[in-house]
Amino acid sequence: PLGGGLDITEIDGFDNLHDAQDVLRREMERAAALWGARRSFFLVNGSTCGLLAAVYAVAAGGGSAIVARNCHKAVYHALELCGLTPRYLLPDWCAEWGIYGSVSPESVAAALADTPNARFVLLTSPTFEGALSDISAIAKLCHQAGVPLLVDEAHGAHLGLGGFPAEALACGADVVIQS
């Protein structure tokens, strides 16, 4: 195989993921432009490290966080690492499909009212099963409360393209993690 199975992103003449100056920097800038983000970072290990980094960036040092109960286990890990107390949001039950679906704006509004010291709100949208939450309405509520909205969009990299619904960043989310 190319590179003998080695990680070529840290060999002279290529680029370094941790200090991108060449091809990776240009591609991250292109990705940011495509999605309308200020910055984009390519990550390793799926979305796990992105979730850990996002939570740490907005809430290191403890406090409370409002998180959907159906989030990825990396979010629970981040809560523990940052000393955060979760206020869980239970997504709506979709009896027709037998799954938990979206998180309603009403439940976010109630959680924000019950948790005035929340450091952030974090949702998974789309869920592992494909359910989308109303990110535009939820982002508006979060911003009115002065709380950033983080969205795990690992299963939604197709959103915003080719007729699919808008992706979370275009809907007002502050930090979006995709795979």
* pLDDT tier, 61 (very low <50, low <70, confident <90, very high otherwise): confident
Averaged over 96-117, what is the pLDDT? 95
Is pLDDT at 88 greater than 90 in this prediction?
yes
Average pLDDT of the residues of the chain: 90
Tell me the CA distances in angstroms from 64 to 22, 49, 79, 81, 179, one per residue in order.
Answer: 39, 21, 9, 13, 27
Question: Which residue would you say has higher pLDDT here, 49 or 173?
Answer: 173
Is pLDDT at 96 greater than 80 in this prediction?
yes
Res 179: pLDDT: 80
For residues 44 and 106, give the distance between their C-alpha atoms in angstroms, rounded to a whole number.
35
For residues 35 and 159, give the distance between their C-alpha atoms in angstroms, rounded to a whole number.
10
Res 46: pLDDT: 79
Instruction: Determine the number of helices (DSSP H) and then strands (DSSP E) in the chain.
Output: 5, 7
For residues 62 and 24, give the distance between their C-alpha atoms in angstroms, rounded to a whole number.
33
User: How large a percentage of the chain has pLDDT more than 90?
Assistant: 64
Averaged over 69-76, what is the pLDDT? 93
Tell me the CA distances in angstroms from 76 to 23, 66, 69, 119, 176, one per residue in order.
Answer: 34, 12, 10, 15, 17
Range scoring the smallest mean pLDDT among 14-18, 56-60, 99-103, 145-149: 14-18
Averaged over 72-81, what is the pLDDT? 94
Tell me the whole-structure pTM to 2 decimals.
0.86
Is pLDDT at 175 greater than 80 in this prediction?
yes
Range scoring the smallest mean pLDDT among 5-9, 50-54, 142-146, 155-159: 5-9
Which two three-digit tokens encode residue 35? 């999605």
Res 8: pLDDT: 64
For residues 143 and 136, give the distance between their C-alpha atoms in angstroms, rounded to a whole number.
11
Q: Do 85 and 65 contact (CB within 8 A), yes or no?
A: yes
Q: Return the bridge partners of 99, or none.
A: 94
Give, as one character, the DSSP assignment of residue 4.
G
Res 99: pLDDT: 92
User: How large a percentage of the chain has pLDDT more than 70?
Assistant: 93
Q: Do 137 and 105 contact (CB within 8 A), yes or no?
A: yes
Give, as one character, the DSSP assignment of residue 103.
P
Q: How many residues does the chain have?
A: 179
Tell me the CA distances in angstroms from 51 to 87, 97, 151, 170, 179, one per residue in order.
Answer: 17, 28, 9, 19, 11
